[in-house]
Amino acid sequence: MSNTPVATGAPRELIDPLTTRAAHSDFAVRLRANSEYVVIPLLALIIAAGLFAVFLMAIGKSPVDFVSYVWRGGFGTAFSFQNTLQRSAPLILTALAVAIPARIGLIMIGGEGALVLGGFAAGALAIPMIGHAPPMVALVLMALFAMIVGGFWVGFSGFLRYARGVNETISSLLLTYIGIAIMNFFVEGALRDLSNPNKPSTMPIGDAYMVGKIPGTQVHWGFAFGLALCVALYFLMARTTFGFAARVTGGNSRAALAQGLPVGRLIVACSAIAGACAGLAGFFEVAAIQGRANASLAAGYGFTGILVSFLARHNPLVIPPVAILLGGLVASGGLIQRRMELPDATVLVLQGFIFVVLLTSETLYGRFAIFRSTKERDRT
């Protein structure tokens, strides 16, 4: 395994070992090749937006109004942009829950379940600690518990995949439904706060135990943690032996096995990391937004996170901007609903358009000569 990087680096040095021009042209070639991964998703976004505009016009609404309300509701003012950042925090974390397993070749869509169960676990753990433990200790324990529960939930899908060959996409979505049922079971039963007649919830954790805002903003710390995790997980997957082994497994698991890589442990580890991210998203939803665990946790962030990860091509560093874009769309949903008299599912329809067009655009890779180096073109 340790020989491989040397082997891939060798041909370049053989062609032109010393001159800096070689490095430059290499950079240009890479830029040219990588721009394909930016241009094609952007093209897909534009086409999806165009199709959605046609859809809006077909039902007699103005696409221009729609854009202006998305701008005003999601990005235009300091208040709305901070709201967008706040909404993008769970999207960043649930997108990571898709992106990390994708590196090892799994399509894992259990982020919603891990978010709900993680949030519920955090809210339940808070109940005996309220008024006894110092807030900082309580919050750290809650976050850890949420990550462990979430990690276990998605990790289980990964384990089933490796140990029993169970399709991870189906099992992770089934576990999502089971997770939501478990939360409902407790929230409407044993752990229900009977003093709250409106909506079945756990006991409120109280203002003293809430996660605060990032100083100088109205955005809770979940956003900062999301960004930090994106950077950390990028380095884990791109710059460490663990990440390299995971990517080898994702490329060809039989080859990875033949190399003696611990494929099973890698798959479970990547899935557990994914679940931990989604569980952390649940913790922040409970401890920074809702103040208690209830059915509002299943707000669909886990499903929007799938789209975010695919749009970012499962690259952790690209996830934050994409999450902010879609977070703004989610944040402006209420304004669009009120002002344009459109149903709240409008945002879902737009997301559906984007997702379908994006996956269709996969077929365009490698079709445009402009993205290929002259050498490659000569060869073909």
Residue 352 in contact with other proteins, rule: CB under 8 A = yes
The contact pattern for other proteins, residues 189-208, with x = CB under 8 A and - = no contact, is x-------------------
Residue 114 in contact with other proteins, rule: CB under 8 A = no
Q: Which stretch binds other proteins (CB under 8 A): 36-44, 131-139, 209-217, 343-351?
A: 343-351
# residues contacting other proteins (CB under 8 A): 46
Q: Contacting other proteins (CB under 8 A), which of 365, 368, 375, 377?
A: 365
Residue 245 in contact with other proteins, rule: CB under 8 A = no
Distance in angstroms (rounded) separating the CA atoms of residues 239 and 220? 30
Applying the rule CB under 8 A, the residues between 145 and 164 that interact with other proteins are 160, 162-164
Q: Contacting other proteins (CB under 8 A), which of 11, 131, 165, 260?
A: 165
Residue 57 in contact with other proteins, rule: CB under 8 A = no
CA dihedral 121, 118, 282, 201 (to 10 degrees): -40
Q: Contacting other proteins (CB under 8 A), which of 356, 369, 374, 375?
A: 356
- Provide the residue type at 234 as one letter: Y
Which of 204, 207, 203 minimizes the C-alpha distance to 193? 203
Residue 49 in contact with other proteins, rule: CB under 8 A = no
Residue 117 in contact with other proteins, rule: CB under 8 A = no
Distance in angstroms (rounded) separating the CA atoms of residues 303 and 16? 48
**Considering beta carbons, is residue 277 or 350 the nearer one to other proteins?**
350
Q: Please report, for residues 82, 224, 359, the alpha-carbon distance to residue 219 in angstroms, rounded to integers and kept in the order given.
A: 6, 9, 32
Instruction: Report, in Å, the least distance between residue 186 CB and other proteins.
Output: 9
